[in-house]
């Protein structure tokens, strides 16, 4: 039974919420370029993030070819290797993951799932995207400035990042810092929209405790980002002052190390505090939307209400709050006070509690569910495994005594790629397979999607699992080539070659995914309004794809939470949020 | 980072308390009773622009709290820290910004009482005072530079410049909105429509005035005791 049968059986009263004045553009440029429609802005965000993400993917392949076959390929020199590492990291974390989750899914889903016509400040929303685009262009310009992009690592630690001898010290570091500041300004505009829309523009009946967990995840991540990004902004601005005006916020006296002896008293550790005050919440800025989305994917495709909804909401909030007091676990080797290490190791382990609650609740939602192994569900389950495995190696690194010897090794690379790169990206894929039918009106090709899933899921394990072993052997990260050493065994090089081949295969699978996106847009099966028989409001629109304004003449009224799947005594296996109790068909 | 953490803790406590009230005794899995129209769910006390400004002020507070945290940590770790002198012009600037803030308050009163002249005058005086404040801040930078407090040799001076530039940029952004209000007054837009905008400008100016007072305190008036505390 679909929602259309309900439509015939009742007349929903009007929502009677405040109407918005929408700018309905008539021209192509107004509709698709300078658009104020959150859905178009979302797609603009997604396309831009994908484009710059592909650049970062290409950089990773270049790096892997160097590491896997150092004597065969000579695509890059040591300086370019460091530049590739730095740009790959920053692009993936900030310009792809953050932008895709918040700018992409945030824009598309918040108005639709909250039952409103658009974001509350559409013009500001449009500006937000254009700031983002400019920031991406400035970042990409770093490749072409004299000296190339910065090679200081994605963490941009001074004094190295602005000292002579580091790649990109002439122009690359400047473009990176300016780009980040423009990104943050743009994000603040978007973030204000997301928060205020969720708090102030929900339709009648959509209480906070009836919000889908996707919205909770995006909302909490946005709140965190609005409070954490200023730390990065401050760090970038001060570093820019140090680089351009010769101040010494971070730059210490470096007599005899470089020719730069004029500075005194600057504190490099201060930069690390500021950077990680942003940097650790950033992990959860990416993770919380993923948590929210995966909750909805699992509930919808297992046809079961989410286990412990209130607990899930509070776990999201607790993770968000705790993530602000764990930042120094990235700095165990920075030389800070050892007592801090104990404190931050403790808070780091405490954050595992709400995270574990979420994992248990996902598993309990799946337990005895009517699981449909659709593509979104495959990616959601893939996320569970990957996040759990990546999180478990985090427990090792959260302990000071274990972290100190492992800190500069491939163990860390393996850990954070599993937990913060692959896990969220699996959710992005799952979410695209889930919402693509609403965005385009067509289904993605399933066999292609299955190949994409299995190659990506298994392939990423083949890439990152061996890295843990390489790390345990003590192989340092950020090295261009290892040459002859006494402590690195020959098998490490064989593993490196294996990882490189796996990485190339996984990268090719992503091209298959992009092909699927384009091919299905023209040739995909017609999706209808609600192909997954989902309950949330975005699937109850009169048209697919939804037009500007989303809901036709009347806004929907919400009568229930978004997880009414397989309700006992009800004929259908789902009840959309906008169906009143009297319209629900029950077993006789 | 203590300053930033205290700010965040207070913010999160408020948010948590509010959310606790929203979620306590709520059973989300229970649908609306049959025949009952669900209640409106958003707060009527706030409009979207007002809430937007409050959220923005929280972001700006976070920015300056982090800036002050960085200042205190840098001060604590410096082998030696030379305090800045306190040019008299700073007191004048503080007074001018206060007048600007009060002028906007008066403009808001004018809008609420449908007194177009008072609204226009208040907005204009507020904008002029703000411009005067910005010029005054520039003159303070010049004065400090002339006295030898260069950015590269005196971190305290560098902190003053970076914080006052950030503060000035926020004021300049606000001036854009005040200019928009003045334009609408000139176009005889109905005063009822301008009440909210003027109210938002007033709130924003009061907020930036308080921010300036805090910056003035930590950078100049209270710098010596803070330094002693940090050491």
- Nearest residue on chain B to A307, judged by CA atoms? B29
CA A545 to each of CA A204, A212, A529, B121: distance values in angstroms, whole numbers, following the listed order: 23, 20, 8, 50
* pLDDT more than 90, % of chain A: 74
Residue of B89, B26, B64 whose CA lies nearest to B159 = B64
Band of residue B12 on the pLDDT scale cut at 50, 70, 90: confident
Q: Give the mean pLDDT of A431-458.
A: 97
Query: In Å, how far is B195's CA from the nearest CA of chain A?
Result: 19
Q: What angle do CA A362, A363, A368 make, to 5 degrees?
A: 115
Res. A3: pLDDT tops 70: no
Please, which residues have CB within 8 angstroms of residue A171's CB and are 6 or more apart in sequence?
A142, A145, A146, A147
User: Tokens standing for B109?
Assistant: 């009163």
Provide the whole-model pTM.
0.94
Q: Identify the residue with better confidence: B194 or A531.
A: A531
- Nearest residue on chain A to B15, judged by CA atoms? A317
What is the C-alpha separation between B139 and B86, in angstroms, rounded?
A: 13
Residue of A116, A121, A284 whose CA lies nearest to A206 = A116
Band of residue A15 on the pLDDT scale cut at 50, 70, 90: low
- Nearest residue on chain A to B18, judged by CA atoms? A208
CA atoms B85, B88, B89, B94: torsion sign? positive
Query: In Å, how far is B71's CA from the nearest CA of chain A?
Result: 9
- Nearest residue on chain A to B152, judged by CA atoms? A247
List the single residue in A192, A199, A559 with the smallest CB-CB distance to B38: A559
- Nearest residue on chain A to B35, judged by CA atoms? A582
Q: Could you give the domains of chain B?
A: 87-231 (1.20.120.80)
b/e per residue A7-30 (b: at least 16 CB within 10 A): beeeebeebebeebeeeebeeeee
The residue with tokens 């002693």 is B228
Band of residue A16 on the pLDDT scale cut at 50, 70, 90: low
Res. A9: pLDDT tops 70: no
Q: Which of residues 176-205 of A touch B (CB under 8 A)?
A: 188, 191-192, 195-196, 199-205
CATH architecture label of A37-251+266-583: Up-down Bundle (1.20)
CB contact under 8 A, B67 and A234: yes
CB contact under 8 A, A270 and B73: yes
Rounded mean pLDDT of chain A?
Answer: 91
- The 10s digit of each residue's pLDDT in A330-340 is 888 887 777 88
List the single residue in A196, A205, A305 with the smallest CB-CB distance to B55: A196
Instruction: Write the burial class of residue A34 (CB in 10 Å: 0-12 exposed, 13-18 middle, 19+ buried).
Output: middle
Band of residue A261 on the pLDDT scale cut at 50, 70, 90: low
Res. A372: pLDDT tops 80: yes
What is the C-alpha separation between A313 and A289, in angstroms, rounded?
A: 12
List the single residue in B41, B56, B162 with the smallest CB-CB distance to A237: B162
CB contact under 8 A, A231 and B19: no
CA dihedral B85→B91→B93→B94, nearest 10 degrees, is 120
Q: Which of A297-306, A500-509, B21-30 has the lowest mean pLDDT?
A: B21-30
Q: Bridge partners of B211?
A: none
Res. A179: pLDDT tops 60: yes
List the single residue in A199, A241, A580 with the smallest CB-CB distance to B51: A199
Q: Which of residues 205-244 of A touch B (CB under 8 A)?
A: 205-210, 223, 226-227, 230-231, 233-234, 237-238, 241
The ipTM, to two decimals, is: 0.93
CA A6 to each of CA A10, A540, A566: distance values in angstroms, whole numbers, following the listed order: 7, 11, 16
CB contact under 8 A, A204 and B47: no
| Chain A partners within 8 Å of B33 (Cβ) | 581
| Chain B partners within 8 Å of A241 (Cβ) | 151, 158, 162
């Amino acid at each position: 039974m679909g929602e259309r049968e309900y439509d015939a059986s009742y007349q929903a009263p009007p929502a009677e919420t405040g109407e918005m004045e929408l700018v309905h553009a008539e021209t192509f440029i107004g509709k698709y370029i300078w658009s104020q429609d959150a859905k178009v802005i979302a797609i603009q965000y997604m396309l831009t993030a994908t484009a710059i993400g592909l650049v970062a993917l290409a950089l990773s392949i270049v790096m892997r070819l160097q590491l896997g076959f150092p004597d065969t390929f000579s695509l890059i020199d040591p300086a370019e290797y460091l530049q590739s590492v730095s740009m790959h990291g920053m692009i993936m974390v900030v310009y792809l993951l953050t932008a895709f989750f918040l700018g992409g899914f945030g824009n598309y889903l918040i108005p639709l799932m909250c039952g409103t016509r658009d974001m509350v400040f559409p013009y500001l929303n449009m500006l937000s995207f254009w700031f983002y685009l400019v920031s991406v262009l400035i970042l990409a310009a770093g490749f072409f400035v004299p000296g190339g992009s910065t090679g200081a690592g994605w963490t941009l630690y001074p004094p190295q990042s602005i000292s002579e001898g580091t790649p990109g010290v002439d122009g690359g570091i400047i473009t990176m810092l300016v780009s980040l500041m423009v990104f943050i300004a743009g994000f603040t505009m978007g973030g204000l929209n997301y928060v205020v829309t969720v708090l102030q523009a929900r339709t009648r009946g959509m209480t906070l405790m009836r919000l889908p967990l996707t919205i909770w995840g995006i909302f909490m991540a946005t709140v965190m980002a609005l409070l954490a990004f200023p730390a990065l902004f401050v760090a970038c601005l001060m570093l820019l002052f140090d680089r351009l005006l010769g101040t010494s916020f971070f730059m210490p006296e470096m007599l005899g190390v470089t020719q730069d002896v004029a500075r005194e008293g600057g504190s490099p550790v201060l930069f690390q505090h500021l950077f990680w005050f942003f940097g650790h919440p950033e992990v959860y800025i990416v993770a919380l939307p993923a948590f929210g989305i995966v909750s909805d994917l699992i509930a919808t495709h297992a046809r079961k209400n989410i286990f412990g909804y209130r607990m899930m909401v509070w776990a999201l909030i607790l993770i968000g709050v705790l993530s602000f007091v764990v930042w120094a676990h990235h700095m165990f080797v920075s030389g800070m006070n050892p007592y801090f290490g104990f404190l931050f190791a403790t808070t780091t382990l405490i954050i595992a509690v709400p995270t574990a609650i979420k994992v248990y609740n996902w598993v309990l939602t799946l337990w005895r569910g009517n699981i449909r192994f659709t593509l979104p569900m495959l990616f959601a389950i893939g996320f569970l495994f990957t996040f759990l495995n990546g999180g478990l190696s985090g427990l090792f690194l959260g302990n000071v005594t274990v972290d100190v010897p492992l800190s500069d090794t491939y163990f860390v690379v393996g850990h954070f790629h599993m937990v913060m790169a692959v896990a969220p990206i699996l959710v992005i894929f799952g979410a695209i397979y889930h919402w693509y039918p609403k965005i385009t009106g067509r289904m993605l090709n399933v066999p292609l999607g299955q190949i994409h899933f299995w190659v990506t899921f298994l392939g990423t394990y083949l890439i990152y699992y061996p890295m843990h072993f390489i790390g345990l052997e003590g192989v340092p990260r950020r090295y261009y080539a290892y040459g002859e050493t006494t402590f690195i065994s020959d098998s490490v090089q064989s593993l490196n070659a294996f990882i490189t081949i796996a990485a190339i295969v996984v990268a090719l699978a992503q091209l298959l995914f992009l092909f699927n996106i384009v091919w299905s847009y023209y040739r995909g099966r017609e999706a209808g309004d609600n192909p997954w028989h989902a309950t949330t409001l975005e699937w109850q629109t009169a048209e697919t794809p939804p037009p500007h304004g989303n809901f036709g003449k009347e806004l929907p009224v919400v009568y229930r939470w978004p997880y009414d799947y397989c309700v006992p005594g009800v004929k259908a296996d789902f009840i959309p949020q906008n169906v009143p109790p009297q319209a629900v068909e029950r077993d006789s | 980072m203590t300053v930033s953490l205290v700010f965040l803790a207070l913010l999160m406590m408020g948010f948590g308390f509010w959310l606790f009230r929203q979620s306590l005794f709520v059973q989300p899995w229970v649908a609306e009773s049959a025949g009952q129209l669900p209640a409106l769910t958003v707060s009527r006390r706030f409009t979207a622009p007002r809430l937007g400004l409050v959220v923005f002020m929280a972001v700006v507070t976070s920015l300056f709290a982090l800036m002050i945290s960085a200042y205190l940590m840098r001060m604590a770790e410096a082998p030696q820290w030379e305090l800045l002198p306190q040019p008299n012009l700073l007191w004048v600037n503080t007074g001018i910004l206060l007048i600007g803030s009060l002028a906007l308050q008066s403009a808001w009163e004018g809008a609420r009482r449908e007194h177009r002249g008072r609204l226009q005058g208040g907005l204009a005086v507020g904008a002029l005072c703000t411009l005067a404040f910005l010029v005054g801040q520039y003159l303070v930078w010049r004065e400090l530079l002339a006295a030898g407090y260069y950015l590269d040799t005196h971190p305290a001076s560098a902190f003053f410049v970076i914080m006052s530039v950030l503060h000035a940029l926020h004021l300049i952004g606000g001036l854009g909105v005040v200019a928009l209000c003045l334009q609408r007054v000139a176009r005889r837009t109905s005063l009822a429509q301008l009440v909210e905008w003027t109210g938002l400008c007033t709130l924003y100016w009061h907020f930036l005035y308080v921010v300036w007072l805090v910056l003035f305190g930590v950078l100049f008036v209270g710098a010596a005791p803070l330094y002693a505390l940090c050491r």
